[in-house]
Every structure is written in C-alpha cells, then in structure tokens.
Chain A
Amino acid sequence: MEYLLHLLILVGIYVMLSQSLNLSAGFGGMISLAHAGFYGVGAYAGALLAVHYQVPFLVAVPAAMVLSGVLALVVATIALRTIDDYFIICTLGIQVVVFSLMNNWMSLTRGPLGIPGIPGISLFGVEVGSKWAFLLLTLVFVAAIFLFLKKLTGSSFGRVLRALSEDEIFTQSLGKNVYLSKVIAFTAGAMLAAIPGVLYAHYISYIDPTSFTIDESIFILSIVIIGGMRNLWGSVIAAAFLVFLPEILRFVGMPNAIAANMRQIIYGGILIAMMFRYSKGFETHHTKTA
C-alpha cells in the first residue's frame, strides 16, 4: 500500500510537469526540452530555502516559482527568436547549461553530492508526515494547476495561443502581440513546473542533479505528446500509464534491470508511432479542449 501511494504521488508530480509543458508545447506550439531544468530550479530553490533558511513550504513555493519564472523569462527572450526545430535545439542547450550549473556550482548546490536532509512539509503547524497526507497535498496542487490551465486555455489568451501555434503571421495581422503571448505562455509553463519541483524535494528529502537531466526532459515531453497535444486529460492518463509501466512490466515477470530499459523502449516506440499520427503537423489534429 505504501508503495502504491508512492507511485500515485509520482503520478501527481508528472501530471503537473506534463500539464505545465502542455501549456507551452501544446497550446503555444513551443516544444521545449528544457522543462526538467525548470523543474530542477524549483526543486533546488525549495530545498535550499528549506535547509538553509527554514522557509515554510507555502512561502517557498511562490519563491521557487518566481525564480523559475525569471529564468524562463530570460530563456524565452533568447530562445523565442527561433522556431520549431531550432527552438528545440536551443532549449536543449539551455537544459544542458542548467544541468551543468546544478552539477558544478559546488558552493551553492554541492554538485553531484546533492542536498540531503530536506525537512518534511508542515502546513499551519500540522506536519504532513504520512504518505496519505502527502498524496492529498499533491492532489490539491494537481487540481489547482489543472483548473488554472483549463481556465487559462479556455480564455481569450488561450485562443490567441492556439491561433499563433497554427499561423503566427495571421495572428499578428489580427493585432495580437505574438511574441509577448509566447513569452507569457513559456514563462507561465516554467513557473508551474517549479511547484512539482518543490514538492518533489520535500517528498524525497534529498535531491541531486541526476533527477533533472535531459532524459527527464525527454520523458516529460513524451508524456505530453503521448497524451496528446493540447489535451490536459490526455496528459493525466499518459503520466499514469508511464509511471505505472515498469510495475506492469515487473508484474508480467520481467526482471528489474530490463524493466527500466523496456519502459524507455516502449515510450520511445510510442513517441515514434505518435509522429505518424501527427505527421501532418500538430495543429491539424484538433483534440477537444476546455
């Protein structure tokens, strides 16, 4: 039972990550491989604030979001000068730079040694100790992010995003500020990614840079693509599927060492298959949203 709860918490974290990426990648058409970087920035910000300054959780979350947002703003102004495949390459570069900072800035992050001893969360004096309580807290955040994104993407801003991901020049001709909308969507996605970062840091109580690598970015992007671009419920289902996949493989009798690789082979394979579905472009397949 404890293990099942652990998996459900992980599902919650990946749901938040993939939905925040869905805002920029799905709705805004900005496919980014830097999402694990923002997740990591959130986790490190939360961990360092808690360990060194005993900052309470509810203060650390907005602080981490602001930090991640400022970084995303800088990144967006640079990376959004490019589009499509060059944008992906650019975000890939940013992901590697962020990872490199986490891994080598010894005085701040302790590099590969990681940050141990991150305290648990206490809300208004109540310790969130058990797995049940933590799951509940995670679900609250999942629901909050879900509703926020649902509202945002259903608003006029969401329509601008959808329009510009299909045809930027046309959107511009309607008098919409394409560049600004993209910067906002990208920054908002990155800020939301900081939330699961803080939760993860408190939950695992130890973080090191290996949790925030380029592979993690590819994994989050895979969830978004497998679940369907612009499809928020799809991201929920895909996150659950991919987190439970190794357990399913173990259940059918696959050894531990192979199950981990097999999971990646399966999601790589599904990613390829999805590209056949999306081969005419991500825009022409309108999935129902909002």
Chain B
Amino acid sequence: MQIVNNIIYIFIVYLLASQSFSLIYYSARFFHIAHAATLTFAAYFTFLFSRQLSCPVWLAVPLAVGWAAGVGMLAEIALYRPLRRRGASAMVLMIASLGLYVVLQNVISMVWGDDTKSVRTGEIRVGREFFGAYITDIQITTIVVCVGLFVGCVVLMKYSRIGRNIRAVASNPELSNIVGIDSDRVILWAFGIGSGLVAAAGILIAFDTDMRPTMGFSWLLYGVVAMIIGGVGSNWGLVGGALLLATAQHLAAYYIGSQWMDAVAYVILILFLMARPLGFSGKRLKKIEI
C-alpha cells in the first residue's frame, strides 16, 4: 500500500513539474533548462522570507512564488527575447539556457551556501495512516495543491483569453502575429505562468524534503521526461507520462533498489526518443535554413 501512496505523491509532483515546463516549451519551442533554477529559487525565496525575514508562511509562500515567476520572466525578457530576435534556433536557445542555469545555480550557492536548508516547522512526524500506508500532512497538502493547480491551468488554457492566445502562438506564431496577437507578450505570459507553477512545486518539495542549490535539475529532467513521453500540448499525455514515469521508477526501486530510479527514468526517456526520434518536430535530417 505504501508504494501506491508514494507513486501517487511523486506522480502528482511530476505532473506539476512537467506541466510547468511544457507550458513554456509549448509556446516558445525550446528547452528552458534554467527552469530548474526557478524551482530552486522558489524554495530559497521561501527560506529567505519565512526564516531570514521571519514572515508568516501564508505570506512567504505567495511572495516566493511571485519572485520566482519574476526570475522566469526576467530570463525571457533579458535573454531569450533578444536571442529570438536575432534568429536563434531552438538549440542555441537551449545552450544559452544551460549557461543561465549554471549562473543562477551558483548565485544560489553563493548567497545561501551549499548546505541543506530547511523550512519545515516542528519535528518530523510519522504522518497519518491512510488505508494502511503512511502519508504526511505536507504530502496531502502537496497533492491537493498540485491537483488544484493542474486543473486550474487546464481550464485557464482552454477558456481564458491568455490560454487561447498561448495556444494560437504555439500552433502558428506568424499567423498569430498577423491577426494581432503579440507573440512575445504571449510567450512572456507562458513564462510567468510556467515559472509560477514550478515555483509552487519547488516550495512543496522543499517543505517535504528540504533544499539544496542543485535540487532543481533532477526534478526538471523528470518533468522533461514526462513531457516527452506524453507529448507537448496534451494534458492527458502529461498525466499518462507522469504516471508511467512515477510507476516505473517506484517499481524499479521496489524490485532492484532505489538507487536505480534515475537510471530507469533516463532509460525510459531514451527508449521513447528511439521510438519517436525527433519528438514533435517531425524533422529527420538537419537542413540548412535559407
């Protein structure tokens, strides 16, 4: 029973991580690696506000989410937008993003140090018993919040003006510009929403398992794996991808040992890339653009 419980918890966190990442990938069409730093920043901002500036938690969390969303939007304005205007390809944007990730992660290490920081209050409790398995309060909160954010985001994408614009830009940026949608603005919105979502995920993870400056990268990559399995722009695909990843990892942990969880995730990724070599771009060979 405990394993089912863990799978559900991890699945929900993966779902939020991959949704936040795919929202950005969906509109801007490149791998925003520095997204991992946004996740870490959110956790450290919570630490900053709640511990170092001793704000109450109900105030610290929204502040941290806001600031982390600001980090994501700043990256878009200051880095990706100028690069896009110069005609950068998805690969160039990805490497720039890799550089940005290195910079941001080291800024975090420099400001807060490399050791583990905690925002948890009180001592660690065993958790509640729930159908013969244990689950902590924070994990229950995480599941509720993540499901809420996921559904909220799906509704937002489907019915709101911003959501419709994001989908328009994702399907055809030039055409959207022609009908009067400012694609840069829309991508900025996508960065804001995506960064806010991953910030929520980062804070919830920090409350569950504390924080280190390098924590973001593996969560980001799990999100990417779930997105590649599920497909970009498909919400049910993300659900399926996150569920498959969480289940496979926990079954592997159960049968061959938990140290192989990472390897399993990437073996799945590589298998999916083999089956669908170019993800969603549909290109098979590199061709010069004129």
Write the nearest CB–CB distance from B71 to chain A, whole angstroms.
15
B103 near A88 (CB under 8 angstroms)?
no
B98 near A281: Cβ-Cβ < 8 Å:
no
Q: Mark B77-100, 1 if CB is under 8 A from A, else 0.
A: 001001100111111111110111
Give the number of chain A interface residues (Cβ < 8 Å): 55
Q: Does B179 contact A (CB under 8 A)?
A: no
Instruction: Give how many B residues have a beta carbon under 8 Å from the other chain's beta carbons.
Output: 53
> B90 to A85, Cβ gap below 8 A?
yes
A94 touches B270 (CB 8 A): yes
Stretch in A4-12, A190-198, A263-271 with 4+ CB within 8 Å of B: A263-271
A167–B102 CB distance below 8 A: no
A81-B273, A86-B279 are known contacts. Are A276 and B82 too (CB-CB below 8 A)?
yes
Instruction: Please give me the residue from chain A that is nearest to B90 by CB atom.
Output: A85
Any B CB within 8 A of the CB of A59: no
**Which B residues lie within 8 Å of A261 (CB)?**
106-107, 109-110
Interface check A73, CB cutoff 8 A? no
Stretch at the interface among A50-58, A153-161, A168-176: A168-176
Whether, in the assembled complex, B286 has its beta carbon less than 8 Å from a beta carbon of chain A, the answer is yes
Residues of A within 8 A of B31 (CB): 85, 88-89
Question: Which of these, B83, B100, B103, B228, contacts A89 with CB under 8 Å?
Answer: B228
Q: Are B101 and A268 in contact (CB under 8 A)?
A: yes
Complex Cα distance A278/B92, Å?
Answer: 7
- Whether A69 sits at the interface, judged by CB under 8 Å, is no
Q: Whose C-beta in chain A lies nearest to the C-beta of B105?
A: A264
Given contacts A81-B274, A265-B102, A279-B88, contact A272 B269 (CB under 8 A): no
Contact of B286 among A89, A168, A218 (CB under 8 A): A168
Which residues of chain B are within 8 angstroms of A221 by Cβ–Cβ distance? Answer: 95, 98
The answer, among B102, B269, B284, for a CB contact under 8 Å with A93, is B269
Find chain B residues with CB under 8 A from A184 CB: none
* Contact between chains at A93 and B266 (CB < 8 Å): yes
Which of A169, A172, A276, A282 lies in contact with B83, CB distance below 8 A? A276
Closest to B287 in A: A169
A170 to B: closest C-beta gap in Å: 7
Stretch at the interface among A14-22, A96-104, A132-140: A96-104
Q: A100-B263, A279-B88 are in contact. List 5 more A-B contacts (CB 8 A).
A: A31-B95, A94-B270, A218-B98, A222-B102, A283-B288
The residues of A with any CB-CB pair to B shorter than 8 Å are: 29, 31, 78-79, 81-86, 88-90, 92-94, 96-97, 100-101, 103-104, 164-170, 172, 178, 214, 218, 221-222, 225, 258, 261-262, 264-265, 267-272, 275-276, 278-283
**A-B residue pairs in contact (CB < 8 Å), sample of 24:** A31-B91, A79-B270, A86-B277, A86-B281, A92-B221, A93-B266, A94-B270, A97-B267, A101-B263, A104-B260, A104-B263, A164-B286, A165-B286, A214-B217, A264-B103, A265-B103, A268-B101, A269-B103, A271-B95, A271-B98, A271-B99, A276-B86, A279-B92, A281-B92
